[in-house]
Amino acid sequence: MKMVTLGMDLAKTVFAIHGVDERGKVGLKKQLRREQMTIFFANLPHCLIGMEACGSAHWPQSAIW
């Protein structure tokens, strides 16, 4: 089954990966440590990757000042 879209939950040490095929069927659920990330993505066929960002990631920089 070829994954066409991957979702990735960013963290400090363990990353959660969730992949779906062209029909939206889940085909991949995996947890990777930081040192495994490069090898995993280097061997993966081309696909769309979405990364999770919390609500505070979009907070305007000027509001901090």
Q: What is the CATH number of the domain that holds 18?
A: 3.30.420
For strand 5-9 and strand 14-20, is the pairing parallel, antiparallel, or unpaired?
Answer: antiparallel
- Token pair, residue 31, equals 């947890």
Opening angle at CA 23, ends 21 and 24, nearest 5: 65
Number of folded domains in the chain?
1
Q: What's the pTM value of the predicted model, to 2 decimals?
A: 0.69
- Cα separation, 33 vs 11, in Å, equals 9
Residue 60 has pLDDT above 70, yes or no: no
Q: What is the DSSP letter of 22?
A: T
Within the chain, where are the H helices?
Answer: 34-42
Range of the domain at 44: 5-63
More confident residue, 30 or 61: 30
